[in-house]
C-alpha cells in the first residue's frame, strides 16, 4: 500500500492536469479573436489590456489585473488555503506535485484568467468609447439648424416690432375720436351761437346779449383746451412707452443693430455650410444640399426685407404721430390764443381793432387744419425715406414675389429631388421652411398700400378740408369787420355773423366725417372675429415661431 500511494498520487495529479487543460480550451477559444475598435483611445486601451496578459504569461506569475490575486502570486480566496500555509504548497502536497510546478501551473492559469478578464474589460471600453464620430452630414445639419434658428429670430423681431407700432390699439383710436369730435362739436356750437346771434341782432345791436358772445368764445376756448390736453396726454404716453422699450432693449435702434448681427451670423453659417457641401462626394446629395442653400439664402433675404419694412414702418408711424402732436398742438395754441384774446376784448368792450388776434389766428390755422392730414402723412413718408434701406441695400429682389409666387414651387422642387426622396433627413427642415414662408406671406399681405394722388387724398379728408377752409374764412371776416367797419356796427355784425355761421357749417361737416369714420371703424372691428384681428394674428404668429425655435434649438446645439 505504501508503494502504491505515490503512483496513486501521480495518477491523480495527471488526471487533474488533463482536466485543467481541457477546461482552459474554451477560454482560449473565446479570446482567440480580440475585437478591434476604430476609436484611437479604445484601441490603445485594448492593446494595453492584451499586453498585460502577455506579461503574465511570460513572467510565469500572476498579473496585477487578475481577479482575486495578490502581487506576490498567492490568492487570498483560494479554497485549499489554510491558515498559516500557502495555497501553492497545500495543492502540491495534496496532488503529489511539487510546489514549484504547482505554482507554475497556477501562474499559467492565472495569466490565462488575466488575459480573459482584460479582454472582457476591453470589450466594455470599446462599447462605451465607440460613439459615432461627427460626420459631415451631421455637421451640415447642425449648421443648417443654427441658420434656420437665426432666421426664425429675425421673424420674431419683425412680428414683435409690428406689435409695438402697428395700429392695433382700438382704444387709441377711440381716444383720438373723443378729442377731435369734442373739439369740432364745441367749436361748431360756439360758432353757430356767435353767428346766429349777430345776424339776429344786426338791426338792433344795442339789445344784443353780450353774454352769448362771451359764452360762445369760451366754448371755442374749451374746445382748444380739449385737443391740446389730448395731444399732451398721447405724447406723454408714447414717450413713456418708448422709454420703457429702450430700457429693456426693444427700441427701434436696438432692433436694427441686433438684426445686423443676426444677418451677419446667418451669412457666416451659410458660407460654412457651402464649404461642407462642396466636399460632398455624392452628386445627388450635393445637388439637393445646394438647392437647400438657395432656399436658405432666399429666406434670409426675405426675412431681412420683412424686418426692414417693419423697422421703416415703425420709424414712419412714430414720426407721423409726433409730428401730429406738434402740428396739431401748435395750430390749437395759435388759434386758442387768438380766441382767448377776442374773448377778453369782448368782455372789456374794447374797440373792434383789438379783435385782430382772433382774426389772424383763424386765418392762419384754417389752412393748417385743411392740409394737416396730408402733411402728417408726408412727415411719415419723409421719415421712411430718411431711414433708407439699412438691411437690404446690397441686394435687389422682389421679396413679395419671391415668397408669394415662387417659394412654394421652389420648396416642392427641392422635396422632389432624388436625394430627398431616398434620404428624408436631407429634407428634415422643410416643415420649418413652410412655417417661415407662411409667416412671411402673411406679413407681406399686411403691408399698407399708400393711396396715390395728393388731390385724391385731400378730397378723402373732406372733413378736415371743410373745417379748415371755413375757419380761414371766419378769420378773414373777423379782420374785415374789425378794420373796414370799425364804426358801422350793423355791417360789422353782418360780417361777423356770416363768418361764424360758415365756420359752424364747416365744423359740422368735419364732425360728421369724424363720426362716420369712427362708426365704420367700430362696425368693422366688431364684425371681425377676434382671431382674425391684427393683434391676434400677430400673437398667433409669435406663438408659432416660438414653438418652431423651441423644437429647433436642441438640434442646433443651442
Evaluate if residue 535 carries a pLDDT over 60: yes
Higher pLDDT, 18 or 482: 482
Closest by CA to 62, choosing from 21, 89, 53, 45, is 53
Secondary structure (DSSP) of 270-304: HHHHHHHHHT---HHHHHHHHHHHHHHHHHHHHHH
Q: What is the dihedral of CA 548, 554, 557, 558, to 10 degrees?
A: 60
Collect all residues with Cβ–Cβ distance below 8 Å to 549 and sequence separation of at least 6. Answer: 149, 152, 153, 156
Range with the poorest average pLDDT among 119-133, 310-324, 336-350: 119-133
**Predicted TM-score (pTM) above 0.75:** no
30-59 tens-digit pLDDT? 333 323 333 322 333 333 333 333 333 333
Nearest-angstrom CA–CA distance, 201 and 207: 7
Neighbours of 455 (CB within 10 A): 8
Check if the beta carbon of residue 193 is closer than 8 Å to that of residue 291. no
Task: State the chain's mean pLDDT as an integer.
Answer: 79
Range with the poorest average pLDDT among 85-94, 178-187, 346-355: 85-94
Evaluate if residue 528 carries a pLDDT over 80: yes
The pLDDT assigned to 393 comes to: 84
Evaluate if residue 291 carries a pLDDT over 90: yes
Q: Label residue 478 by pLDDT band (50, 70, 90).
A: very high
Range with the poorest average pLDDT among 104-108, 138-142, 163-167, 279-283: 104-108
The pLDDT assigned to 98 comes to: 39
Secondary structure (DSSP) of 368-398: HHHTHHHHHHHHHHHHHHHH--TTTTT----
Nearest-angstrom CA–CA distance, 73 and 61: 6
The percentage of the chain sitting over the pLDDT mark of 70, rounded to a whole number, equals 73
Higher pLDDT, 4 or 138: 138
Range with the poorest average pLDDT among 165-169, 224-228, 365-369, 372-376: 165-169
Cell numbers found for residue 57? 504569461
Collect all residues with Cβ–Cβ distance below 8 Å to 92 and sequence separation of at least 6. Answer: 98, 99, 101, 102
The pLDDT assigned to 8 comes to: 61
Relative orientation angle of helices 283-348 and 430-446, to the nearest 10 degrees: 30
User: What does the pLDDT average to over 173-188?
Assistant: 95
Cell numbers found for residue 308? 426692414
Check if the beta carbon of residue 104 is closer than 8 Å to that of residue 61. no
User: What does the pLDDT average to over 495-500?
Assistant: 94
Q: Which segment, 34-43, 60-69, 224-233, is predicted with the most confidence on average? A: 224-233
Nearest-angstrom CA–CA distance, 188 and 46: 99
For 65, phi then psi, to 5°, come to -95, 0
Closest by CA to 245, choosing from 339, 130, 157, 358, is 157
The pLDDT assigned to 501 comes to: 96
Check if the beta carbon of residue 342 is closer than 8 Å to that of residue 217. yes
The pLDDT assigned to 230 comes to: 96
Higher pLDDT, 342 or 86: 342
The pLDDT assigned to 152 comes to: 96
Q: Label residue 453 by pLDDT band (50, 70, 90).
A: low
Strand, coil or helix: what is 255?
A: helix
User: What does the pLDDT average to over 217-225?
Assistant: 96
The pLDDT assigned to 558 comes to: 64
The pLDDT assigned to 425 comes to: 81
Higher pLDDT, 529 or 396: 529
Cell numbers found for residue 482? 374789425
Distances (CA, A) of 402 to 6, 298, 411, 446: 102, 8, 12, 16
Q: Label residue 437 by pLDDT band (50, 70, 90).
A: very high
Range with the poorest average pLDDT among 1-5, 85-89, 147-151, 455-459: 85-89
Collect all residues with Cβ–Cβ distance below 8 Å to 480 and sequence separation of at least 6. Answer: 495
Evaluate if residue 109 carries a pLDDT over 80: no
Write down the domain spans for the chain.
Answer: 4-129, 141-348+383-434+488-556
Evaluate if residue 366 carries a pLDDT over 50: yes
Higher pLDDT, 88 or 515: 515
Check if the beta carbon of residue 272 is closer than 8 Å to that of residue 143. yes
The pLDDT assigned to 167 comes to: 64
Higher pLDDT, 412 or 91: 412
Amino acid at each position: 500500500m505504501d508503494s502504491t500511494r505515490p503512483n496513486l498520487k501521480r495518477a491523480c495529479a495527471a488526471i487533474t492536469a488533463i482536466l485543467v487543460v481541457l477546461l482552459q480550451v474554451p477560454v482560449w477559444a473565446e479570446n482567440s479573436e480580440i475585437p478591434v475598435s476604430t476609436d484611437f483611445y479604445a484601441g490603445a486601451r485594448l492593446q494595453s489590456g492584451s499586453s498585460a496578459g502577455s506579461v503574465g504569461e511570460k513572467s510565469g506569475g500572476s498579473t496585477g489585473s487578475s481577479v482575486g490575486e495578490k502581487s506576490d502570486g498567492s490568492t487570498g480566496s483560494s479554497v485549499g488555503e489554510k491558515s498559516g500555509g500557502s495555497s501553492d504548497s497545500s495543492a502540491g502536497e495534496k496532488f503529489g506535485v511539487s510546489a514549484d510546478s504547482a505554482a507554475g501551473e497556477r501562474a499559467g492559469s492565472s495569466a490565462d484568467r488575466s488575459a480573459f478578464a482584460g479582454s472582457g474589460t476591453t470589450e466594455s471600453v470599446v462599447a462605451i468609447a465607440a460613439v459615432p464620430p461627427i460626420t459631415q452630414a451631421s455637421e451640415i445639419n447642425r449648421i443648417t439648424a443654427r441658420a434656420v434658428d437665426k432666421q426664425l429670430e429675425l421673424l420674431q423681431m419683425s412680428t414683435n416690432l409690428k406689435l409695438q407700432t402697428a395700429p392695433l390699439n382700438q382704444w387709441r383710436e377711440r381716444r383720438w375720436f373723443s378729442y377731435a369730435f369734442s373739439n369740432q362739436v364745441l367749436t361748431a356750437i360756439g360758432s353757430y351761437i356767435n353767428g346766429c346771434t349777430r345776424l339776429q341782432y344786426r338791426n338792433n345791436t344795442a339789445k344784443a346779449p353780450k353774454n352769448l358772445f362771451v359764452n360762445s368764445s369760451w366754448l371755442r376756448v374749451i374746445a382748444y383746451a380739449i385737443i391740446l390736453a389730448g395731444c399732451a396726454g398721447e405724447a406723454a404716453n408714447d414717450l413713456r412707452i418708448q422709454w420703457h422699450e429702450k430700457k429693456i432693449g426693444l427700441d427701434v435702434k436696438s432692433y436694427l443693430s441686433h438684426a445686423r448681427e443676426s444677418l451677419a451670423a446667418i451669412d457666416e453659417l451659410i458660407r460654412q455650410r457651402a464649404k461642407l457641401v462642396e466636399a460632398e462626394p455624392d452628386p445627388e446629395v450635393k445637388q439637393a444640399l445646394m438647392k437647400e442653400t438657395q432656399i436658405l439664402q432666399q429666406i434670409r433675404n426675405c426675412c431681412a426685407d420683412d424686418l426692414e419694412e417693419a423697422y421703416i414702418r415703425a420709424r414712419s408711424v412714430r414720426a407721423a404721430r409726433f409730428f401730429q402732436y406738434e402740428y396739431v398742438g401748435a395750430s390749437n395754441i395759435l388759434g386758442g390764443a387768438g380766441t382767448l384774446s377776442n374773448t377778453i376784448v369782448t368782455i372789456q368792450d374794447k374797440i373792434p381793432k383789438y379783435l385782430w388776434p382772433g382774426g389772424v389766428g383763424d386765418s392762419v390755422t384754417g389752412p393748417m387744419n385743411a392740409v394737416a392730414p396730408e402733411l402728417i402723412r408726408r412727415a411719415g413718408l419723409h421719415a421712411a425715406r430718411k431711414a433708407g434701406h439699412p438691411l437690404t441695400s446690397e441686394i435687389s429682389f422682389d421679396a413679395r414675389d419671391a415668397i408669394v409666387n415662387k417659394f412654394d414651387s421652389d420648396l416642392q422642387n427641392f422635396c422632389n429631388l432624388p436625394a430627398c426622396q431616398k434620404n428624408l433627413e436631407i429634407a428634415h427642415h422643410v416643415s420649418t421652411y413652410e412655417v417661415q414662408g407662411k409667416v412671411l406671406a402673411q406679413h407681406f399681405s399686411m403691408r399698407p398700400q399708400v393711396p396715390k394722388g395728393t388731390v385724391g387724398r385731400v378730397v378723402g379728408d373732406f372733413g378736415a378740408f371743410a373745417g379748415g377752409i371755413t375757419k380761414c374764412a371766419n378769420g378773414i371776416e373777423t379782420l374785415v369787420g374789425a378794420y373796414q367797419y370799425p364804426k358801422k356796427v350793423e355791417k360789422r355784425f353782418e360780417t361777423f355773423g356770416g363768418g361764424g355761421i360758415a365756420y359752424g357749417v364747416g365744423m359740422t361737416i368735419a364732425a360728421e366725417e369724424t363720426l362716420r369714420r369712427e362708426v365704420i371703424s367700430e362696425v368693422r372691428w366688431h364684425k371681425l372675429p377676434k382671431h382674425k384681428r391684427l393683434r391676434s394674428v400677430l400673437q398667433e404668429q409669435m406663438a408659432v415661431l416660438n414653438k418652431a425655435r423651441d423644437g429647433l434649438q436642441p438640434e442646433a446645439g443651442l
